[in-house]
Amino acid sequence: MEKVSGVVVCYNNMPYIKNCLESMTWVDELIVVDSFSDDGTAELARRYADQFIEHEYISDGNQKNFAFSRATHPWVVVIDSDEIMPPELSREVRETLGNPRYGFYQVYRRGMFLGKEMKHGGWNRDKNYFLLRPDKYRFNDDEVHQLLIPEDDFGIMENRLIHYTHRSIDEFVKKSNSYATRSAAKYHRRGKKGSPSKIFFHSFYNFLKVYCFRLGLLDGTRGLISASLSSAYVAEKYAKLWELDNREEIERLLPGRDGEGEDR
């Protein structure tokens, strides 16, 4: 069986980083890449890591690619700092590496929202890149939702990661704002345009899809909150894309630009 390096990237995640790292103690080498945390995350992570590295954050994919370059074993298992690997999943990794059929594997996640597992609304379909050969694969340079390249056939693990997504609504809103900014920048770079119709209809359809079609309503109040907040994120994403498209006009209308836009 081939040896495996574990990779965790983190930033200011004290509530969960200890359980995350303890769930990774079975790997042959643990690499932690931290984006200069200042809440005690870094100090705690140093106790667990075989390699602890502070590296400037550009994107999740960039952080993970950097970690892959430091791995000394032929396989890497990568999880986020708000995820926990159950023992049955680590055993499955070991069994898989006894006779791997693919160059990389994905894993489904059990999403925990406001302290409780979400079983509908698309949460049950959520999966991540998980186990791969770092000499063959890397993440692309997209601002968010990076893809693993090159495209290839892949396997899917039978067991699931535990993913603690949001501890509070404030945290959801804060993360959504960051993702909306980066997603809008990604769309703008690719030539996509924002519009009032996209702001309304994409967010409206997202609510219907998550809450009704994918049965988020069966998750009770949390399902309603999740569907509402995720739809607000979609609206914000397209609103920020519209803002980028109209940046010059907005700047021209602001006070202090050659006298235009100032009160008279």
pLDDT at 144: 83
How many domains is the chain built from? 2
Per cent of the chain over pLDDT 70 is 97
Among residues 166, 193, 214, which one ends one of the domains?
Answer: 166
| CB-based contact 63:137 (threshold 8 Å) | no
Same domain, 81 and 197: no
* pLDDT band, residue 261 (cuts 50/70/90): very low
Q: Are strands 29-34 and 51-54 parallel, antiparallel or unpaired?
A: parallel
Q: Are strands 116-117 and 104-113 parallel, antiparallel or unpaired?
A: antiparallel
Same domain, 135 and 227: no
Upstream peptide bond of 196 is cis (omega within 30 degrees of 0): no
Among residues 136, 166, 196, which one ends one of the domains?
Answer: 166
Q: Provide mean pLDDT across the span 103-125.
A: 96
Same domain, 124 and 185: no
Domain annotation covers residue 256: no
Could you tell me how far CA 193 lies from the centroid of its own chain? 24
The parent domain of residue 240 ranges over 169-251
| CB-based contact 6:24 (threshold 8 Å) | yes
Q: Provide mean pLDDT across the span 112-124.
A: 95
Same domain, 134 and 182: no
Same domain, 51 and 139: yes
* pLDDT band, residue 143 (cuts 50/70/90): confident
**Tens of pLDDT, residues 16-65:** 999 999 999 999 999 999 999 999 999 999 999 999 999 999 889 999 99
Same domain, 202 and 115: no
Domain annotation covers residue 260: no
Per cent of the chain over pLDDT 90 is 87
Q: Is the pLDDT score of 259 beyond 60?
A: no
CATH number at residue 22: 3.90.550.10
pLDDT at 262: 46
Same domain, 134 and 190: no
| CB-based contact 178:233 (threshold 8 Å) | no
